[in-house]
Copies of this chain bind each other. A is one copy, B any other.
Amino acid sequence: MNTSDIAETAPGWLSAEDLSEVRDRVPLVYVDAVPVRLDHLGRVERVGLLLRAMPDGTISRAVVSGRVLFDETIRDALWRHLTKDLGPEADPSIPASPAPFTVAEYFPDPHRTGFHDPRQHAVGLAYVIPVLGDVAPGDDALDFSWLTVAEAASAQVGEEMTGGQDRLVRLALAFTQSLP
């Protein structure tokens, strides 16, 4: 969740209080985007991970993830979160098909599905997003790195992620057949 989710007042945005109420009542729709660099044949060369302060208080590596707002399409939400987190020059390729490669179901209970969000029940539609341009991480992120596939799949990097996002990255690598 970003500061802007709370502070802005455009339609679809909720006050912190309103969001807190909704969170106890319904699952929230999220998009999870795994940024990748592809070679000209479509093979994954790099996986992009943010370094950010997470909902659970840790400093963690993370994929691009954020809420789909009321009256917002999934495509608009992907574009909004990708350009905010990766900068205006990132040039992310939103996929032609709206079907996610998997769905990450985040529960407050960490043992439920392996995907965990202490704040809420979130249904994350997960996409692999080729990024063509230059990344300049947004204010919410401390850093951004392009990792090799081996690094992204490693136990060490996995331990630097929370909420099951290390597993989400491995599922993305499997989907693209780049899982070692």
Interface residues as binary, A109-139 with B (CB distance below 8 Å gives 1, 0 otherwise): 0001100000001010100101000000000
Q: State the copy count for this chain.
A: 4
Contact with B along A79-106 (1 / 0, CB 8 A): 1000000000000011111111111010
Collect the chain B residues with CB atoms within 8 Å of residue A14's CB: 25-26
Q: Which residues of B contact A18 (CB under 8 A)?
A: 25
A157 located at the interface, meaning its Cβ lies under 8 Å from any Cβ of chain B in the complex? no
- Give the residues from 58 to 79 in chain A that come closer than 8 angstroms, CB to CB, to chain B: 67-76, 78-79
A103 to chain B, nearest CB (A): 5
Contact digits for A146-179, partner B, Cβ 8 Å, 1 yes 0 no: 0000000000000000000001001100111101
Number of interface residues of A (CB under 8 A): 57
B130 touches A96 (CB 8 A): yes
Q: Is A29 an interface residue (CB 8 A)?
A: yes
Considering the complex of A and B, which 5 residue pairs feature the smallest CB-CB distances, nearest first? A42-B94, A174-B174, A41-B75, A96-B176, A98-B103
Q: Which A residues lie at the B interface, using CB under 8 A? A: 14, 18, 21-22, 24-29, 36, 38, 40-44, 67-76, 78-79, 93-103, 105, 107, 112-113, 121, 123, 125, 128, 130, 167, 170-171, 174-177, 179
